[in-house]
Every structure is written in structure tokens, then in C-alpha cells.
Structure 1
């Protein structure tokens, strides 16, 4: 079975941007919609979703999911409370939701590519093994056919 986790390189400078998790695309779209209607709510949901169905992007050995949750929680709260400053929180929230979708689509494409490579490898191995087994079967059939003629 293919490991569902794919390590995509992140070129984010800050831990805050690295905290945007890889989520299934429908979940990322749902988070964007929540961010549009209630700024920060989709960001908080994405942090909790990373615990059970997503993959954190933070490059740390331990506590990746916890750090992702905490950062998304803090960013979501910040987005909500900065709505009053010329809707800064609302625009920030929508941009965050857009990044969620972009990262989720990149992750989905990487998963699909990895699955295709695994299927191709398995097919090549199966064909190679099958042809070797087939040759043996043909040899035994030829030998048995020759014996039956004699």
C-alpha cells in the first residue's frame, strides 16, 4: 500500500506560513467558504482538520501537528479580531483560504503522481514475473506434449 504522506518541499520563510496544512481539497474549499463568511473560522477549522485528515507542512521532527493547530488557532483569532481595522482580517482570511486550496491541490497532485508511479512499478514487476512464469509453463507444456506424442 502507498504511504499517504508525501514530503513536498516548502519554501516558506515563516513558521506561520508553514502552518498552512495539506488538506483534502473539499475540506480546503469548505475552510475558504467559512473564512469568507466568518473570518478566521475556516483557519481554525483547518488547524483542527490537520489533526485528523491533513498533513502538516512544518519542517520539525516533533510536535508538527500540535504546532500547526496552535498557529492556525492564533492566526484565526487574529483574523477575526482584525476585521474592524478596514477589513484587514477579512482579506487576510480569504487569502489564507486561497493558500489552503493551493497547497491542497499541490498535495493532491503529488499523491496522484506517487500512486501512478507505484502502479507502474507494480505493473512492470507483475509483467516481468508473469513472463518468467509463463516461459516455465510453456516449457512444461512443450515437454508434456512431446511425451504424449511418443
Structure 2
């Protein structure tokens, strides 16, 4: 039984893989070998003609040094889903309206090069700086239990 046919999302992922491969200076062979696929099959992935499995996408992400989520950023036809009861919002560093080019570059570098824990730490630091610069104070909430002695 064949899987679902490839669509625009697969084209999006394939183009991002090809872009990152070229930026990293990797040959197609260097990407095909860890996937254990032919150059022809890799070309189908890169064009979005064939769909990558989650396992193969994880391998590609590791070879290219990006988080798997990188390939889903800006995905066409993706509706924003509400988090489920078991989903905890994740601190993300992503492009925000009004960010400077420097801040955007830092966010992209963090998403590309830092692990989850360090990304969250950096995100907390950025939020604290943002609150300080905007005149908000993180700990200005009234204490529901009254003053502590």
C-alpha cells in the first residue's frame, strides 16, 4: 500500500533541505549516504516529489545541524492549532514584528545551534530584557497570599 502523495508541504521541506545543503557546502552524496538512498531518490525528496519519513527527516536535520522544526517554519497550508491539554507552550525564538536584524539573526542562530534547554534559557533572558526595556517588571504581580515575613 502506497503512502499519501506528496504535496506543497513536501516541496517546502525539500527546498529548505536543498537550501541548507548548499549553504553547508555538502554534496548530494554526503546527504544521500546517511539516508541510505540513491541520488535519484534524494533528488525526489529535494523536489518534493516524494515524502520523507519522520526518521529520515530527523537524519537530515542532524546532518544539516538544524532542529527538525526548522523544516516546518513558514509551512504553506498549515493552520495554527491550539495547544492540547498535555501540550506545554515552548519558549521559541522566532522572528517578531519590530525586531532588529541583529535580534532576528540571534534568534535564527539560537534555533539552529542551541539545544532545547539553552534555547529556553536564552528566550527567558530575551523576554526579561524586552520587559525591562518596555518598562514592565516581571515580578510586579500582587502576591495572592499577602506579604511574606
Instruction: Report the TM-score when normalising by structure 2.
Output: 0.24
Higher normalized contact order (CA 8 Å, seq sep 6+, divided by chain length):
1
Larger Cα-atom Rg: 1
